[in-house]
Amino acid sequence: MIRVAVVGVNNIGKIHCRAYKQHPDTELVAVCDLMLDRAKAAGLEHGVPFYTDLRELLAAESVDMVAVATAGVEKGSHHFEPAVIAMEAGKDVLVEKPISNRIEEARSMVALAREKGVRLACNLNHRFTPAAYKAKELIEQGKLGTMLYMNMRLTISNRQEDTEWLHMRALHPHSIDVMRYFAGDVKRVQAFMTKAPGRNSWSTVSVNMEFVSGAVGHLTGSYDASMRHPIEFCEAAGTTGRIVIDNVYESMTYYPHQSDELMVLRNPLFGGMQGFDDTFKHRINRFIEQIKGGASPEDIEASGSDALAAQEVIEAAIRSHQSGGIPVEVPTSP
């Protein structure tokens, strides 16, 4: 059994707690939150010890893995400290996205994981669906030929306005991770952003991309849309075929260039994903599977390095917008 502690037990942390309680290969051994009442409530609910200090928790409990489900400014400012404490103690870590909203912290986290030889993963859950798995398989089989373009749209309703960059830093680790999953590293970006009426933040964005491979791409993102309709569209195309994923997990369609017959994978009514929250379970299950299988830190899917790469793209897009939409090179990880 992999012994797990969850840090941050508000909304997302509650999902993590339930996942580790239900997983056949994990044991939830403790919870931690800076707010005593919140930590106590989660501890009593799950019948585990509760703490407000992660160092005390790690000193008192036998823990293999720490799930960092804290939030903070731009959904990521509280990730750095607990992740560092856990990695310094030699624990594997699954951190919520963004890995950090501060790029220097994100770089430090990835460097520390490498130094300590621990597994650092990020909850980039949009790639952990049967539709995405099948699309990745077809791409690796060469069904698209040479990749030419990659388009992504992720649009939801969120009126929150922590900072003017909340939308980019909090939401688009997901979309950019999916784009990198299929098309590889991003070389440079060009971004344009706008504010919906009454907004103080850049709530709708358009980002042009050039990938290292030579493929091109585009991301449309918005906090000014609706949750009643599909939120995500993903399209990857090459010289011999095209793939479309509708709404994260609902379906994947492969369009071969030289055939009228399509390959369609649909989410089944029975036995399929029952809703978006299932992506959390799929992501967590894969990390547990990799830990139990002895995967090396370099082989972890949706790793800290992947999360950092997405944040580097986001920061480059912000710099592009600030500079009037000029193309900006994306830094490469050491």
pLDDT 10s digits, 261-274: 999 999 999 999 99
The answer, yes or no, to whether residue 333 has pLDDT greater than 90, is no
Rounded to the nearest integer, the mean pLDDT of the chain is 97
pLDDT digits (tens, 9 = 90+) for 212-233: 999 999 999 999 999 999 999 9
Task: Tell me the mean pLDDT in the region 284-294.
Answer: 97
In what helix (H) or strand (E) does residue 232 lie, and over which residues does it extend?
Answer: strand 232-238
> pLDDT grade, residue 334 (50/70/90)?
low
- C-beta separation of 167 from 101 below 8 A: no
What is the distance between the alpha carbons of residues 227 and 244, in angstroms, rounded to a whole number? 20
Selection from 115, 40, 104 nearest residue 77 by Cα = 104
- C-beta separation of 136 from 254 below 8 A: no
Tally Cβ neighbours within 10 Å of residue 36.
Answer: 11
pLDDT value, residue 224: 98
- C-beta separation of 86 from 59 below 8 A: no
What is the distance between the alpha carbons of residues 308 and 8, in angstroms, rounded to a whole number? 21
Task: Tell me the mean pLDDT in the region 289-314.
Answer: 98
> 140 — phi, psi (to 5°)?
-70, -25
pLDDT value, residue 332: 86
pLDDT digits (tens, 9 = 90+) for 87-116: 999 999 999 999 999 999 999 999 999 999
The answer, yes or no, to whether residue 67 has pLDDT greater than 90, is yes
Task: Tell me the mean pLDDT in the region 266-287.
Answer: 94
What's the predicted TM-score (pTM) here? 0.96
Question: What DSSP designation does 125 have?
Answer: G
- C-beta separation of 287 from 280 below 8 A: no
- C-beta separation of 116 from 304 below 8 A: no
Task: Tell me the mean pLDDT in the region 183-207.
Answer: 98
**CB-based burial label for 260 (10 Å; 0-12, 13-18, 19+):** exposed
